[in-house]
Amino acid sequence: MSSPEEPQLATPETEISEGEVDANLGLNKALDTYRKLIEKKDGKEPLSEKDQANLEDKIKEIEEREVVEKIDDHDPVEIPCEKGKITIGPPTLTRFEQARIMGARALQLSLGAPPFITIPKNARISLDISMEELEQKVIPITIRRVLPNGDYQNIPIDYFA
């Protein structure tokens, strides 16, 4: 009895690691998208030879750039608030910051903390009182806004417009 030989599939050997393939795949996809955007910008007419050469030069420049994934040697630094100037983010409280402040203050009030203002007649719940306190900017709170590199700015609530 002889056993039938199983056909073996030939697999090409590659010396590129998986990390390089993923990086090149993403870069190639981004460059293809960039090329399509530039070519569609003019509309119906194809790019002239000069424009095509400029596009290829820009693509080569992008391909040669060094990719910085993470810099480990940066220690977060506080950016000071000089003369009430807010350098990180918008000059007003964002809706998320407002919600966080009002929610935290309403919880404090509901747990028995004394209010910083006289309680308005139309206030029915602690959230109404915290909204009024926020409008009058009497809550002693500081907002910390953080940049992606870890640098941050502590901004007192008085500085917001």
* DSSP secondary structure string for all residues of 65-120: SPP-----S----BPP--TT---SS-SS--HHHHHHHHHHHHHHHHTTPPPSSPPP
Q: Is the pTM of this model over 0.85?
A: no
**What CATH number is associated with residue 132?**
3.90.940.10
Say yes or no: 51 and 104 in one domain. no
Report if residue 29 sits inside a domain: yes
Say yes or no: 105 and 56 in one domain. no
Report if residue 3 sits inside a domain: no
Report if residue 84 sits inside a domain: no
Say yes or no: 101 and 47 in one domain. no
Per-residue pLDDT 10s for the chain (161 aa) are: 555 566 565 555 545 555 555 657 778 888 888 888 877 765 667 778 888 888 888 888 888 888 777 767 888 999 998 887 888 989 999 999 999 999 999 999 999 999 999 998 988 999 999 999 999 999 999 999 999 888 999 999 988 87
Report if residue 118 sits inside a domain: yes
Report if residue 76 sits inside a domain: no
CB 142, CB 136: distance < 8 Å: no
Count: domains in the chain:
2
Report if residue 69 sits inside a domain: no
Amino acid at 96: F
| Both tokens assigned to 125 | 């719940």
Say yes or no: 99 and 57 in one domain. no
Say yes or no: 59 and 104 in one domain. no
Q: Which structural domain range is residue 30 located in?
A: 18-64
Angstrom distance (rounded) from CA 139 to CA 126: 14
